[in-house]
């Protein structure tokens, strides 16, 4: 009998969630499938030419689901941010048609220049916002980063609407959005510091702060 294969007289057991087969010699080896199906009363045999249900494409990957659980809020906020940027861009296009200003001209009536400036300013800060959003969400806390991201997007919308109406009405929203960015900076820095110290030195910064 080939000792490298499980014996037909002995049951091959699988440790739960480990995908290990128990061989007759007492050794455990990794299985291609993550779990074996539970024993049934009728044994199903694979006919010649029939594909086995235990194929590489059907291996369950729990790590992928766990990863999506850690980033789904960040992804949703990012999509909202992209849609907001698209809305600002459309407002500039409508303003060009309204005031008859063709690209690449960027000067015109004060109403157009305010709309154009609000869109440009928002697009300049958007990459900074996205980078800080994902760093804070991955290394600090996803829920907190997503909530701060929503606040930032709302303040940017208020900034655009206020700037379109008057230059003075842009100040309060821009100050608020800048404050949100600084909070994201602090969360990102603290999360990265905790990761590097815990990974390389074993020091838990968050526990020290909580104590």
Active site members: 97, 170
Tokens, residue 56: 């590489």
The answer to whether 95 and 112 have CB atoms below 8 angstroms apart is yes
DSSP 54-121: --GGG---HHHHHHHHHHHHHHHHHHHHHHHHHHHHHHHHHHHHHHT--TT-----HHHHHHHHHHHH
Find out whether 31 and 17 touch, Cβ atoms under 8 Å.
Answer: no
- The answer to whether residues 163 and 113 touch, using CB atoms and an 8 Å cutoff, is no
């Amino acid at each position: 009998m080939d000792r490298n294969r499980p014996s037909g007289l002995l049951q091959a057991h699988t440790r739960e969630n480990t995908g290990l087969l128990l061989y007759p010699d007492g050794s455990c080896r990794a299985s291609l499938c993550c779990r074996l199906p539970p024993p049934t009363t009728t044994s199903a045999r694979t006919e010649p030419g029939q594909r086995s249900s235990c194929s590489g494409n059907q291996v369950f990957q729990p790590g992928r689901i766990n990863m999506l659980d850690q980033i789904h809020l960040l992804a949703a906020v990012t999509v909202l941010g992209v849609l907001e940027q698209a809305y600002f861009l459309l407002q500039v296009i409508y303003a060009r048609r309204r005031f008859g200003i063709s690209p690449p001209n960027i000067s015109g009536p004060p109403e157009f220049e305010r709309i154009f400036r609000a869109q440009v300013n928002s697009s300049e800060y958007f990459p900074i916002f996205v980078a800080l959003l994902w760093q804070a969400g991955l290394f600090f806390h996803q829920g907190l980063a997503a909530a701060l991201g929503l606040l930032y997007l709302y303040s940017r919308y208020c900034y655009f609407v206020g700037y379109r109406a008057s230059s003075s009405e842009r100040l309060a929203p821009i100050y608020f959005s800048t404050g949100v960015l600084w909070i994201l900076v602090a969360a990102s820095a603290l999360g990265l510091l905790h990761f590097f110290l815990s990974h390389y030195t074993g020091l838990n910064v968050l526990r020290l702060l909580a104590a």
